Amino acid sequence: MAFPRAIPRPAARLRNERIARWWSFTRRYPVIPVSILMIVLVIPAIFADLIAPHDPIQTDIRTRLLPPFWVDGGTFDHLLGTDRLGRDIFSRMIFGARISAGVSLAALAIGGTLGTTLGLVAGYFGGWVDHLVMRVVDMMLSMPLILLALVMVVLFEPGITTTILVVALLLWARYARQIRAEVLTIKETDYVARARVAGASNLRIIFRHIFPNVVNTLIVLATLQVGTVILLEASLSFLGAGIPPPDPAWGLMVAEGRDFIATSWWLSMIPGAGILLTVMSMNIFGDWLRDHLDPKLRQL
């Protein structure tokens, strides 16, 4: 008896299935994105002074526009090549990771604290307080982020501190809206009603009974916002309104290499790849964290 031959699957379908399996594995076990994040952002940010082989702002015209070591003309003394002023790109990438990590942590701490506090107050008290906070949130979310950031930077002197404050002011509204939505549900639960009957003050109810129940949402939101902060900081630096030269910011490095993209591609491509890997890793990790901390999604 002859058996029918198995019909071979097209190469495109096989490739899509492999991508789907890899994506499912990555979301279930986020080893890959966390490893990429550790290598690209966390480790260089902490040990920049020990890892960087050169001074990131030291210029040397004699070694300008050297390619990476795997390209003809490259050397192992400058692993990722040099820029138009002879500065080592590998060292600038490492110190740029420290700037990105510092800006992200500081901006998320300030914006998250402000947004969470306003979200707790608006959701718990309701009424005119809720209407006032939410109208300000709607106004902030309706404005173009980059345009608003540029206007704010023009009013102040560009620098790391200004960039942190600008990014924080642009992010707090996202926290306020999400936390307020959680509080509207939590404040109607039985244990909050019992706390009111027992005579607990509003401040105690908010921070003792409601806030612990929004911590998971706050952690996930902060994780997902890291990529937004890095992109926003890189965009401002690219436009010349963020981290000022000669500080080694990734967005500034991309901007400095755009005029040499046809001849010295590594000037923009390498910092651009760093931004891509970091943002992608944080988004995948935040997606996994959301599924892991949410009991409803964890049961699926």
Would you say residue 22 lies in a domain? no
**What local confidence, expressed as pLDDT, does residue 296 receive?**
56
Would you say residue 5 lies in a domain? no
Q: Tell me, what CATH number does 176's domain have? A: 1.10.3720.10
Would you say residue 200 lies in a domain? yes
**What local confidence, expressed as pLDDT, does residue 121 receive?**
92
Cα–Cα distances in angstroms (integers) from residue 146 to residues 69, 157, 184, 232, 242, in the given order: 36, 17, 31, 7, 11
Would you say residue 46 lies in a domain? no
Would you say residue 104 lies in a domain? yes
Range of the domain at 104: 79-298
- Report the domain count for the chain: 1
**What local confidence, expressed as pLDDT, does residue 119 receive?**
92
CA distance 10 to 137: 50
**What local confidence, expressed as pLDDT, does residue 156 receive?**
77
Helices (H), 29-66: 31-37, 43-46, 48-51
**What local confidence, expressed as pLDDT, does residue 30 receive?**
64
Would you say residue 42 lies in a domain? no
Would you say residue 187 lies in a domain? yes
**What local confidence, expressed as pLDDT, does residue 160 receive?**
84
CA distance 60 to 54: 11
- Matching residue, tokens 């990438």: 93
Q: Mean pLDDT, consecutive 10-residue segments, the chain of 300 residues? A: 51 66 63 71 83 88 88 87 90 89 89 92 89 90 78 78 85 90 87 85 87 86 84 82 82 86 88 86 78 59
Answer whether 0.75 is exceeded by the pTM: yes
- Half-sphere exposure at residue 238, Cβ-oriented, CA atoms within 13 angstroms: 18
Would you say residue 231 lies in a domain? yes
**What local confidence, expressed as pLDDT, does residue 60 receive?**
86
